[in-house]
Amino acid sequence: MKARKRVTTAGATGSRPARASDRPRRTPTVRTVRSAIVPVDRRPRPPIGGAPQSPGRAASAAEDRGPAVDLSVDLAPGRGGLRLENPVLVAAGTFGYGVEYGEVVDIQRIGAICSRGTTLQPRVGNAPPRVTETPAGLLSSVGLQNPGVEAVLERYAATWAGWRVPVIVNIAGGSIEDYVAVARRLDGVPGVAGIELNLSCPNVARGGLLFGIDREGAAAVTAAVRRATELPLMVKVSPNVADVRPIALAIEASGADVISAINTLPGMALGPDRTGPFLGTGYGGLSGPAIRPVALRIVHEVAQVVSIPIVAIGGVTELADVLDYLAAGAVAVQVGTAIFADPALPVRLADELAAECRRRDLASYRPLVGTALPRRPGAPSARGVEYRP
């Protein structure tokens, strides 16, 4: 895949002539837009955090030799633990159920896998087209296509149970009862390390309002799922709200162990003839680098009000993004859209994080967490930085 593409735009701006024939011929300008998708790098990598496996092999920039760095993090220390070997996860809906990528990348070296969204009943998903690339991201409307929780467990749970990498099952539903039924089914199943609640689903009982749109909706579904399972519970917030902080607080108070932020933002692309939308559903979810500043702001906001760990999601494509999210108060990140072009990216980012820690003489990445949060003079500890991995 090309890293760059040429986009042709109209050159002149200003007042528009009355008729098309009156308009002067426009000389198109050409600007270069960096693709949201980074090229694939399939070079073999050493174990994360440690020195290269084969002493004779030349180390790359990301693998500089030195002492091992502790990249481990426990996302749910209060609930029997959800321990990850490194803080780079893959995001729901962008890595299938993990098994699909076994040939392409050493999945055991990923921090954790958030599965494709899973519902109580099978779903065929939305009408095509479902995906289109934008200059700084991806617009998608897959519609939670999945075979239903029963089939998911039958097909994959035994495989997951043999993996070192934890699998967190991302769940969705149209009612609280749906979420609860899926959570109950997952509870205690070997191979299921945790649950991630997708709150960006329409609540049928509330006329299609997203569960994550307000405090009440988010709290009700979180509390109900909390009661249904002992599994570590990560709750994924929607960015499509005026103020995410009360919602995050309600999620924390309702028993979530972790908050993940953020899901996609609604967007639209038109079809080539501009007579209607491009996507089969009309609107879709925007992901990729385009949403990164929004996600960074939300992580920074949430980190200042909750004490549970935060996992950042949104446009992660390089180490600088990981460092930004850690500084904003996240203890881990998820990689989503960028995986479509480079499934090995999460593993490489973990390598690069280890190398960065070595460069800074850090034995672990913990000191990188929360450095961009405001400091309150005189306060023994600021809320939001109390949790350290």
Ligand X SMILES: Cc1cc2nc3c(=O)[nH]c(=O)nc-3n(C[C@H](O)[C@H](O)[C@H](O)COP(=O)(O)O)c2cc1C
Binding site for ligand X (CB under 6 A): 91-94, 116-117, 138, 140, 142, 144, 170, 198, 236, 263-264, 287-288, 291, 313-316, 335-337
* Pairing of β 137-140 and β 131-134: antiparallel
Catalytic residue among 82, 90, 165, 201: 201
Label the pairing between strands 202-203 and 209-210: antiparallel
Among residues 93 and 309, whose Cβ is nearest to ligand X? 93
CB of 42 vs ligand X, minimal distance in Å: 20
How does strand 332-335 pair with strand 88-90? parallel
CA 384 vs CA 70, 233, 299: distances in Å: 22, 18, 10
Smallest distance, Å, CB 335 to ligand X? 6
Which CB sits closer to ligand X, 69 or 322?
A: 322
Cβ proximity of 82 and 194 under 8 Å: yes
Residue nearest ligand X (C-beta atom) = 93
Work out how close the CB of 86 gets to ligand X at its nearest, in angstroms, rounded to a whole number.
Answer: 17
Biggest alpha carbon distance in the chain?
Answer: 72
Token pair for 215: 């405090």
Residue 172 corresponds to which tokens in the numbers above? 């969705």
Q: Helix or strand or coil: residue 42?
A: coil
The minimum distance between CB 314 and ligand X, in angstroms, equals 5
* Polymer length of the chain: 389
Three-state SS for 164? Answer: coil
Other CB atoms within a 10 A radius of the CB of residue 362 amount to: 15
> Residue 105 CB, nearest distance to ligand X (Å)?
16
Q: How far is the CB of 292 from ligand X (least distance, A)?
A: 7
Task: Name the 3-class secondary structure at 118.
Answer: strand
Q: Return the number of the residue (77 or 143) whose C-beta is nearest ligand X.
A: 143
State yes or no: is 201 an active-site residue: yes
Residue number with CB closer to ligand X (60 or 134):
134
Inter-residue contact 197 to 233 (CB < 8 Å): yes
Tell me the closest approach of the beta carbon of residue 373 to ligand X, in angstroms. Answer: 22
Query: CA triplet 271, 276, 279: central angle to 5 degrees?
Result: 60
What is the C-alpha to C-alpha distance for residues 173 and 116, in angstroms, rounded to an integer?
A: 13
CB of 149 to ligand X, least distance (A): 13
Quote the distance between the C-alpha of residue 366 and its chain's center: 20
* Cβ distance to ligand X smaller for residue 69 or 167: 167
Q: Which is nearer to ligand X, 49 or 288 (CB)?
A: 288
In terms of CB distance, is 198 or 203 closer to ligand X? 198
| β partners of residue 29 | 9
Taking the mean position of all CA atoms in its chain, how far away is CA 18? 47
322 phi-psi bin (left φ>0, alpha ψ -120 to 50, beta other): alpha
> Which residues neighbour 100 within 8 Å (Cβ) at sequence distance 6 or greater?
none
**Residue 314: which of 119, 89, 102, 99 has the closest Cα?**
89
Q: Which is closer to ligand X, CB of 215 or CB of 236?
A: 236
Q: What token pair was written down for 325?
A: 């999210």
Q: Which residues are known catalytic residues? A: 201
